Amino acid sequence: MKNLSLIFVLAISFSLMGCENIQGNQAGNQPVIENNIDGTETPEDAAPEYLTYDSFKEKVWDFEKNPQEWVYEGDIPCVIDFYADWCKPCKMVAPIMEDLAKKYDGKVKVYKIDTDKEKKLAGVFGVSSIPSVLFSPMKGRPVMQTGALQKADYIKIIEDELLDKKQ
């Protein structure tokens, strides 16, 4: 009985995570974009960048050249959203990633990787559940967060794990 209750609670939780009828995803409800963290105005074209296998190796980590050691190739910290178009929780995270790309323009790079198109990249990181978001500071190892989070949670991770560790 205890296992059945746990399964029921998990099923309800996942169905709520995947619900598309929340304020951020309804037509006409565009998320509010704040200024950059330094107070400057956000450029209109700031948006997540979509990565392929080759562009990932060039801009983030060349795991073929350095398979045993994480060597970050970027010049600012990054957030990488592993997603798929059919994934309902990924659709909830998408506008948040767009907001973060604008909010942290010039301070943190936001990338997206379509796990259906880039299966090899998803395999490198062992991504078996989406959305999965990788946070890579300038120094140190990246951290993977699985599941859809609230925007405030992503901001906290960026502020605490990426921007504080930038120096």
List active site positions: 87, 90
In the sheet with 49-50, reading across from the earlier edge strand, the strands are: 49-50, 109-114, 78-83, 132-136, 143-146
- Which two structure tokens, joined as six digits, stand for 70? 């994480």
**Could you give the 3-state DSSP secondary structure of residue 21?**
coil
**Closest to 137 measured CA to CA, from 92, 107, 97:** 107
Give me the residue label for tokens 């907001």.
99
CA angle 138, 111, 156 (to 5 degrees): 60
Residue 64: its H or E element: none
Task: Give the containing element (helix H, strand E) for 19.
Answer: none
Counting every residue written for the chain, the total comes to: 167
Strands 143-146 and 132-136: antiparallel
